[in-house]
Chains A and B, each alone.
Chain A
Amino acid sequence: ETGVTQSPTHLIKTRGQQVTLRCSSQSGHNTVSWYQQALGQGPQFIFQYYREEENGRGNFPPRFSGLQFPNYSSELNVNALELDDSALYLCASSSVRTSGGYEQYFGPGTRLTVT
């Protein structure tokens, strides 16, 4: 069973540019969530995708957008990058447990630096 993978591992961009981060969910999972983790803080929820539709969104501006593909992989796109977007971006895929709870499995993250 393949775990959650993310690419690239590290990325350096300039303020104002656009970036695309990619995530492949764990085998059999159909829900992907994206989180932003600034240094020294806990991750913050960006949005979730379920069957190619956005299923919930955190307190992030519209320049943060996403896609989910038929194979349940996902992209996070950020336009007009700002210095504060520098963070570790984490992707998580969900396993629906028999009791109805959702255990989240996280990927290794993409470290984005905006200069």
Chain B
Amino acid sequence: KQEVTQIPAALSVPEGENLVLNCSFTDSAIYNLQWFRQDPGKGLTSLLLIQSSQREQTSGRLNASLDKSSGRSTLYIAASQPGDSATYLCAVFNDYKLSFGAGTTVTVRA
């Protein structure tokens, strides 16, 4: 059974600081890995998708890396802003489904 862990569970940083969010998974036989953003009480917004054959993906201030062999992914958010405050979820795809971590709740202080 795939287990996905996200550390830390919560993070508070001043505006402008870079954010580093970690994700680990136990079964390396994944098809892809997605990072999502979730605002309180809302649905999931896809941020980045990394295929299993890729090492990283970038979109604007966001960069995600994937090391499939060690079962790790890291999401970097550069120059954080108060609007980045949300819960960030990591999920891996295999066996027709996404398996999610519990998320990292980020607060960016103005």
Shortest CB–CB separation between residue B50 and chain A, in angstroms?
9
Q: Which of A12-20, A37-45, A65-73, A77-85 contacts B (4 or more CB under 8 A)?
A: A37-45
Tell me whether A42 and B4 are in contact (CB under 8 A).
yes
Per-residue interface assignment for chain B, residues 44 to 65, with 1 indicating a CB less than 8 Å from any chain A CB and 0 otherwise: 1110010111000000000000
CB nearest to B93 among chain A residues: A102
Tell me whether B46 and A106 are in contact (CB under 8 A).
yes
Inter-chain contacts of B46 with A (CB < 8 A): 103-106
B7 within 8 A of A: no
Inter-chain contacts of B41 with A (CB < 8 A): 88, 111
Cβ 8 A contact of A42, one of B34, B43, B89: B89
Tell me whether A103 and B96 are in contact (CB under 8 A).
no
Instruction: Give the contacts of B48-88 with A (CB-CB under 8 A).
Output: 49, 51-53
Residue from the set A35, A101, A111 with the largest chain B CB neighbour count within 10 Å = A101
A33 within 8 A of B: yes
Tell me whether B98 and A104 are in contact (CB under 8 A).
yes
Inter-chain contacts of A58 with B (CB < 8 A): 97
Tell me whether B97 and A90 are in contact (CB under 8 A).
no
Tell me whether A33 and B89 are in contact (CB under 8 A).
no
Tell me whether B32 and A42 are in contact (CB under 8 A).
no
Tell me whether A101 and B32 are in contact (CB under 8 A).
yes
Q: B residues engaging A (CB < 8 A)?
A: 4, 31-32, 34, 36, 41-46, 49, 51-53, 89, 91, 93, 95-103
